[in-house]
Amino acid sequence: MSTFIRTSLHLLGSVSNLWALYNVNRIVNPYANGFGGHFQYLTILGLTVATISFLLCLIRDFIPGFLNKVHSVIGSIAVPLEGLISVLYWGMIFLDPKLLIPADAPKIPVFVDCCLHLFPALFLWIDFLFFNVEFKRSSSHVVNIYLFTIAYYVWTSYCYSKNKYYAYPFLADMTTNGRLMFFAVSGTVCWVMYELGAYIHKSLHGQLSTKDGKKKQ
């Protein structure tokens, strides 16, 4: 039964993410016409990583051990990143939507919005905490998180040099040092989410009961 639920979750996550990636291209957004297109947005980059993660999980349901190292690297980025995206997006939308969405940009349909900014994190964290029993905390995962943070900062700055605008309006209101600090804090929040997730995961799966009633790590 748990295998069926796990595979169903991986299929649902894959379909939801692919549907969101398809539909975001149907929204007329003039800011996505610049250099980098939709990939200027952390949401789309995160969704792409999450989609690859789910598709790998789906394949691994039928071919155990498939691309172990790739799966580990992708998962170590996707899970905390989608957590960060959801927290930042819904937090800023609650405070002031204009921090993220320019006044002249089209509104995102509610269901598409959830598929972009809510469901990926929800599905990934459920899968990570309850079905990814093979997970082991690794310092290399933390390195992956910070390397992605640095890469996105460089990518955002390069897109700005081409487009003369930031994908997210609030970045334009910051100084260079302010943006550096924001990215550093965001990367650290991802790391904290990873550590918290690893702690909860260990409490759920760290000790397995053997048939004779003893505990083993």
How far is 39 from 53, CA to CA, in rounded Å?
18
Mean confidence (pLDDT) of the chain: 90
The confidence band for 209, taking pLDDT boundaries of 50, 70 and 90, is: very low
pLDDT, residue 1, reads: 59
What's the Cα-to-Cα distance from 41 to each of 46, 191, 200, rounded to whole Å?
A: 9, 20, 30
* CB-count exposure of residue 167 (10 Å: 0-12, 13-18, 19+): buried
pLDDT, residue 213, reads: 39
74-128 residue pLDDT tens: 999 999 999 999 999 999 999 999 999 888 888 888 999 999 999 999 999 999 9
pTM for the full predicted model:
0.90
Sign of CA dihedral 50, 186, 158, 89: positive
Q: Where are the domains positioned within the chain?
A: 2-209
Strand, helix or coil for residue 54 = helix
The confidence band for 133, taking pLDDT boundaries of 50, 70 and 90, is: confident
